[in-house]
Amino acid sequence: MTTLRSQKPIPTSGGLKGRLRVPGDKSISHRALIMGALAVGETTIAGLLEGEDVLGTAACLQALGADIYKDDQDCWHVHGVGIGGLRPPENVLDMGNSGTGVRLMMGLLATHPLTATFSGDASLSKRPMGRVVTPLTLFGAHFHGRDGNMLPITVTGATMPLPVSYELPVASAQVKSAIMLAALNTPGVTTVIENTPTRDHTERMFEYFGVSLDLQPLEGGTGRRIKVTGQPELVARDLKVPTDPSSAAFAIVAALITPDSELTIEHVGLNPARIGLFTTLQDMGADITYANKREECGEPVADIVVRTSALKGVTVPPERAPSMIDEYPVLCVAAAAATGQTVMRGLEELRVKESDRIAVMVTGLKACGVQVEEHEDGMTVSGNPDRPVIGGACVETHLDHRIAMSFLMLGLISDAPIDVDDGSVINTSFPNFVTLMNGLGTNISIM
């Protein structure tokens, strides 16, 4: 464990200044590796996130027969085995802390005729896998897990998979993507119905690699019917991964709440299903602008310019939750610096993330002197710039990287320093976080 301490920047520093590039998008990085492993030929990936979660997916795919390596220019090369060409692994596949990685890989292997066992760390082993097991069983796969559907879990893929039609009971990009990956090695057309739109990175990546998709809007709603034609011939591609908006969120909030700050975050993914936080911050009065808009591997990107702003509390529309589900912890930090109440509801999904993020955030905020009310499906944070955040607490991260980074950002405006009990978990998604942020003017140290 590595205890980290965050406190107000040195008064003479003049706020947070500069340009930075945060790590590559975690969701896209997972999918780029998987699709490259299934394509015929060599896929190259620039800007891949080299956090523990993504590296775990790379190691898993290597164990299944794909040739994956990084060259001296930090470009990753994936020599695929083709759809249906994966081989049985010799050992247990350790997915660490990656809920995305394990659920996507379970979907991929559900329609390959092999047996594999997935394990994970203490946090991942507490997270529910039933939500993917249920639809993947319909393809003909079999699962055997601890306490029903907890890790470690063994999957035996279907020898003759059958296409399915499945309506998602809850909005989940991970479940949708697991089904779509299972569909790749299934003859015929598999249909996924989502009544609430979720992240569409998988759809974009499928189309970029040549998968035949039929995307149909649902009548009278905002959802979609997604049809995947199985057993395509995937064509290897060159990819440049956008930087992760979820990682950019910490620098953005830090600049908003730290006086005299101005930052430019480069090459950030602006997928419409991922920018709910940016929209919410703008609703709160944030000075956020987009420059140099462009497209990379089917994804919209831009450079984000952010300046210190006087924020006001808002009620976040619950239907916006899927587009910012990972950003609510850092939104709490912005809310603590805002004037008035910020109401966040419709967040039941946060109860089953790396930690129960609602409960953990509420406990940590109260320990730091922030006024917060917990709801079953969210929380309300009351901010008052005339009543400074007290700080002085050591916050338990519960092995959750986003909790750790969020409270380190709160330390930028607290009277007393804020400690997080284990900063090492940040490497899950944001290697070199402390070095990068301190280079902009933050004051984070190892205790």
Query: What is the Cα–Cα distance from 236 to 296, expressed in whole angstroms?
Result: 16
DSSP characters over 304-317:
EEEE----B--EEP
Query: What is the Cα–Cα distance from 102 to 108, expressed in whole angstroms?
Result: 10
Please check whether residue 269 is in contact with residue 300, taking contact to mean a CB–CB distance below 8 angstroms: yes
Query: What is the Cα–Cα distance from 325 to 375, expressed in whole angstroms?
Result: 16
Any idea what DSSP says for residue 134?
Answer: H
The residue type of 266 is E
Bridge partners, 134 (sequence order) = none
Dihedral angle sign, alpha carbons of residues 273, 274, 276, 282: negative
Quick one: tokens of 143?
A: 């699962």
Any idea what DSSP says for residue 222?
Answer: S
- Looking only at the bridges linking them, the beta strands covering 224-229 and 189-194 are antiparallel
Query: What is the Cα–Cα distance from 329 to 349, expressed in whole angstroms?
Result: 13
Of the candidates 326, 400, 419, 421, the residue annotated as catalytic is 326
Q: What is the largest CA-CA distance in the chain?
A: 67
Query: What is the Cα–Cα distance from 59 to 66, expressed in whole angstroms?
Result: 9
- Of the candidates 245, 252, 377, 250, the one whose C-alpha atom is nearest the C-alpha of residue 321 is 377
Query: What is the Cα–Cα distance from 136 to 323, expressed in whole angstroms?
Result: 25
Q: Residue 317, preceding bond cis, omega within 30 degrees?
A: no
Helical H segments across 323-356, by residue range: 328-337
Query: Among this protein's residues, is 326 annotated catalytic?
Result: yes
As annotated, the active-site residues are: 326
